[in-house]
Amino acid sequence: MLMRPSFALPALGLALLASSVWATPAAELSRLHAFQDWYLACDNTLACEAQGYSPEDAAAWPILLQLRRVAGPGTPVTATFRLGNFSSNGQDMARVRPAADGPLHLSLGPTTLTLGPLNADGSVVLNDEQTARLLPWLNRADTLVLSAGAQRWTVSLKGASAALLKMDDLQDRLDTPGALVGVGQRPETQVPLPLPLPDVLGQAVPEPHREDALLLPLLRRSISEVPESCPLLTEGRGQVWRLGSGQVMAVLDCWQAVYNSGSGAWTSSILPPYAPQAVRFATPVSESGAAWAYTPTFLSLTRTESGALMADSVAKGRGTGDCVHHQTWVWNGQFFALTGVEVSPCRQFSLGGQPLTLWRAQVR
């Protein structure tokens, strides 16, 4: 059955991928972990990112601190400050990001670090020495203050220690010298290497034909089992894609909500009696595509230069559009195989938010 989108983000099925060298439950990967003003996600390769935001009730423009670390012994942490482009009351002000008035300064207790200038996208990346001086303060202070001339931005540290401890745990760094919070003497060589990036095979499909759209009403009438959540099936829009070997795929509107919509997809013979069959989409709980998946708002299908058929969808978390759930797939001849999942926290940071990666795959 086609399901409406939800921002409950269950873990991807990775039990077979995790080996004896990595003991953390797979259910903890590929999901969003929230800790007050901080968020953490580790994808299916054990690459992790923690994000710390300005307080939600802050009157100033939003700011974000991103801490990224890939798996493996002795890997460094990269730190990036990024200015948002929503106003404090959530009004979209995407073209009015404040400009830094002079050099950027980061206050760490009695010490002030002078950072590089803002990049065009409103970010500044710390060097290794600056990152090393920043990290201990995340477990000591309540806030971080970044300033440029008369302007000030504040990052809340509520939840920072918990988020970094969770990162240590998921990358199996607890009690090692390289841990961010749980530092100990366990040998760094015991930290697991990154899990392999999955390979996803895409099947080439022919170019679509304009006259294939004439099949839409015939295919609609041929669908014998219409999902209950597909009330627009007989009247909504649709498109037809050729799959080769006398097969086509019909993508049909299913439902429309306030700011999200859903579609369904069916494969069919290009000739009567058609016999449409529901297409499966791999989901965060079914990487083999064993069950129906919803296809959220703004679903689009494109054919790449190599002929692969890609599907892309974005679902808003709320009407202001400051957070989304984004998924991508490739057609493998049997179902749409998952190639990427991203989610952004609802923090009035920017239109679409700042994504955290939950799943990655390499398309071949």
Q: What is the pLDDT of residues 307-330, one digit of tens each?
A: 999 999 888 888 888 999 999 999
C-alpha to C-alpha distance for 271 and 262, rounded to whole angstroms:
27
Tell me how far CA of residue 220 lies from CA of 53, 251, 277, 351, in angstroms. 47, 10, 11, 36
pTM of the predicted protein model: 0.86
The whole-number pLDDT of residue 173 equals 96
Distance CA 220, CA 234 (A): 6
pLDDT digits (tens, 9 = 90+) for 215-238: 999 999 999 888 787 888 888 788
d(CA 45, CA 197): 6
Work out the average pLDDT over 6-13: 31
Closest CA to 227 of 257, 252, 260: 252
**pLDDT at residue 286, rounded to an integer:** 52
Burial label for 175, CB within 10 Å (0-12, 13-18, 19+), is middle
In DSSP notation, 293-342 reads: --B-TT-EEEE-TT-BEEEEEEEESSTT-S-EEEEEEEE-SSSEEEEEEE
**Confidence category of residue 361, pLDDT binned at 50, 70, 90:** very high
Tell me which long-range contacts 74-78 makes (C-beta under 8 A, separation of at least 24). 74/178, 74/188, 74/191, 75/178, 76/128, 76/131, 77/131, 77/135, 77/180, 78/125, 78/126, 78/131
DSSP-based three-state secondary structure for 28: helix
**What percentage of the chain exceeds 70 in pLDDT?**
83
pLDDT of res. 91: 53
CA pair distance 291, 215, nearest whole angstrom: 26
* Residue with tokens 């923690």, as numbered in its chain: 50
Round the average pLDDT of the chain to a whole number and report it: 84
pLDDT in tens, 249-261: 999 988 888 888 8
Paired tokens of 49 = 């990112």
Instruction: Give me the mean pLDDT over the 129-150 stretch.
Output: 92
Six-digit token pair at 271?
Answer: 């000739």
